[in-house]
Structure 1
Amino acid sequence: MGIKLSIEHLSKSFGGKPVLEDISFAVNDGEFLSILGASGCGKTTLLRILIGIEGFDGGTIYKDGKNISSAHPSDRGMGIVFQNYALFPNMTVLQNVMYALKFDPARREHARDIALDIIEKVGLGEQLNKKPHKLSGGQQQRVAIARTLALSPDIVLFDEPMSALDAANRLTLRREIKDIQSKFGITMIYVTHDQEEAFSMSERIMVMEGGKILQLDTPKEVYHHPANDFVHNFVTVHLEEKIRSIQESTGV
């Protein structure tokens, strides 16, 4: 498994206040990496820099060994799924997914076939002609994912994609995102503040706080061997309390 994305000494400030401080890490090809941290830790800013919609002060971004630090977002081979879906309310599922393809000369001619194939793969074949307001929150998020996948990115970034969903929809979408990753063999970087979400989906977890990486490791290592007190309290203690709460409520 080779390195798909490499970030070296990335820094970013807003109004003189550091938001990212000397961030360096690598993402393996086909990996599911979660970036876990509380609000304001810098994780969403990092995602926006990777996709190319936010500038930065210093550092380098490599993808497949190529420096893409100054590349236009459309030339990075990445897609992003936001928490608010950003679907067109007046368009059907099919039209929403096809929309992304109309600006790509190489895919425009076959936009309908590409969209139909992607929609089927994400399990929305029976919802083709429905508009967003007729879909559940989880289904709307799958449309947003399908629209991103239609452009064939080899890295998909997720910015808190389940924050607007109820508990049942979140559990379902977790499984579906992992299934989609398996089907497409795609690299996924997933930003979340939810410890349970990160642990249930990820091959590795990157814990951030105050614009810095505190730990980057497997879920097992982060849980059993937290790097410092913050990681212990933010991750281990929280998950132990969650497990204890479930056990008490079920009488196990």
Structure 2
Amino acid sequence: MKGMTGFSHISKLTDYGRVDVYLKSLNSRFLEVKVLLPPILQSFEPFIRKLIKDNFKRGKIEVVIEFLPRGVSFDVFVDEELGKKYFMSLKKLSNALGLLPDIEIVDIASMPNVVNIVKSELPKSFIRELQSIFKKALNEVLKQRKLEGLKTKEDILKLIHNIKNSVSELQKRWGEINSEIENKVKERVEKFLKEYENRKEVDTAIVSFLMKVDINEEIFRFSKHLEDLEKLLDMDGIGKKVEFILQELIREVNTIASKSFDYTISSLVVDIKSSIESIREHIQNIE
């Protein structure tokens, strides 16, 4: 069981320049990956995405790598025609808005594809070192996500323990009122039989009524779902499965509430639903 949040920053001065790797992981229902690299390192992106896909199932992952080269040869190519088009478009926009065309060269140079780096092939030794730096940053985030998962598991187990106690109290109370219901039904039936001769129809009606108010099946299914939930907590990538089990738990406890006309049982149902909702909130933070 893992969480979904973490952050790491690895900085290293290599023979080819200074490298800073930033990796941030946030909550998300799906796996979202955003990678920001300097042009000279664009070829490194497939490696990053594959490693993330192999290690993360859910979460919003943001990777930023900064590189200040030293001893790596590259040329700068300026697309003058594209720069002119950006300039004319910005000038036209400023005129349309009634603004002064306060456009500086840095504004044009920062536009996409105006300034491009044409580099020589990066040394394989540097690529291997860069891979090692990124793996170190990734492992740090994985470690943080695992620690978050352990803490979340601990909190969820406490909530499950509270739910089990409430279910135990609910079963005890149901045993008490079930006897009361049977006695009251018998009293009324005996009174009714004095005026009604068809005993078979009466027995059928009694059984039907008792089945409608019985909650033993719901309690049994609820307990089984709770066992399944507890087992899942020892696994990874369980977020969606847990959400499904929580839906089933809510369905069973709502059925119990609809059959109950006892204040104590209704109060216990409220406590159980509150704990389930707390578990649901925790689940939003796990992978």
TM above 0.5, yes or no, is no
Whichever structure has more strand as a proportion of its residues is 1
With the shorter chain as reference, the TM-score category is: under 0.3
- Report which of the two has the higher share of helix: 2
Structure with bigger gyration radius? 2
Q: So what's the TM-score if we normalise by structure 2?
A: 0.21
Q: State the TM-score, normalizing by the size of structure 1.
A: 0.23
